[in-house]
Amino acid sequence: MDSKRKQAGRTALPFAVAAALAVAAHAGQGCGDNRLPPRDLPRADEQRPLPRWYPEKSWSEKGGETQVYIEGKIVFDTNKAVVRPGSEKTLETLLQFLKEHPEVTRLRIEGHTDAQSSEEHNQELSARRALAVADWLVDHGVENLRLIAVGFGESRPLGPNEIAAGRGENRRVEFHVAEVNGRPFMGQDPYMGGLALEVLSLEERKLRAEQAAQLK
């Protein structure tokens, strides 16, 4: 009798273990961590090609595109909105464009960043960088009312933020024709989207600087 009980016990044990494992597996399906695993960075041969900064074409009113492509990049120090030396050639090319196209009565200067900081910080930084470019143009004779400075932060990336080359492409300043002969170009609202900052005249900036100095 005892031998029969022992044999029955040995036979029942594997079934009990199997049943317990099945219950655990079923429970895991219902309450387990269903998040996707972290995405690996793309290999060099899988990365999409980064965009060319300077297509071999110039802007024209009939071209059907708002963006003005200027050779070179305007660069800033990390988390700064002061134009770094070495950007003058690009700025002078932009200045020459405005002189050659008086029909462009409003130009949007758009700042963009990578995604290394918070969205709020990046949008404010990109707007201040756009304003720095606008101030440079005003200092060199462009009427402030002809310029719009706006920041989009990290919201419009060109390249992947996971790699340094992509982040470098995302940190940029773009130029878009907003008005031609006083009318919105291509029917678009000149102030549509982004964080816009007021572009002051040179005299207004000097006056505000003097007022700020008196308050100290």
Residues 65 and 9 grouped into a single domain: no
Q: What percent of the chain has pLDDT over 70?
A: 71
Assessment of whether the complete model's pTM goes beyond 0.75: no
Give the Cα separation of 207 and 23 in Å (integer). Answer: 77
Q: What is the pLDDT of residue 43?
A: 52
Structural domain tally of the chain?
A: 2
Q: Which of 121-135, 156-170, 186-200 has the highest mean pLDDT?
A: 121-135
pLDDT reported for residue 62: 64
d(Cα 107, Cα 78) in Å, to the nearest integer? Answer: 26
Q: Which of 203, 144, 176, 161 is nearest to 50 (CA)?
A: 161
90: CB partners within 8 A, 6+ apart: 70, 71, 72, 73, 74
Q: Sorting pLDDT into bands at 50, 70 and 90, what band is 201?
A: very high
Residue 71 shares a structural domain with residue 25: no
The mean pLDDT of the chain is 81
Which residue would you say has higher pLDDT here, 198 or 61? 198
Which residues constitute the domain of residue 14? 1-33
State the CATH number of the domain containing residue 169: 3.30.1330.60
Amino acid at 147: L
Query: Per the domain annotation, does 49 fall within a domain?
Result: no
41 assigned to some structural domain: no
In this predicted structure, what is the pLDDT of residue 45? 45
- Residues 115 and 178 grouped into a single domain: yes
Question: 131 near 199, Cβ under 8 Å?
Answer: yes
Q: Are 174 and 67 a contacting pair, CB within 8 Å?
A: yes
Q: Quote the pLDDT of residue 187.
A: 86
Can you tell me the distance from the alpha carbon of 115 to that of 118, in angstroms, rounded to the nearest whole number? Answer: 7
The rounded distance, in Å, linking the Cα atoms of 209 and 92 is 26
Does residue 76 share a domain with residue 9? no
Q: Residue 216 — pLDDT band, cuts 50, 70, 90?
A: confident
Asked if residue 177 has pLDDT above 70, the reply is yes
Q: Catalogue the E-assigned strands of 77-191.
A: 104-112, 147-151, 172-180, 183-184
CA distance 39 to 51: 23
pLDDT tens track for 114-124: 999 999 999 99
Residue 127 CA to residue 129 CA, distance in Å, equals 5
Task: Please report whether residue 19 resides in a domain.
Answer: yes
In this predicted model, which residue has the larger pLDDT, 128 or 64?
A: 128
Please determine, for residue 152, whether its predicted confidence score (pLDDT) is greater than 60: yes
Q: Is the pLDDT of residue 127 over 70?
A: yes
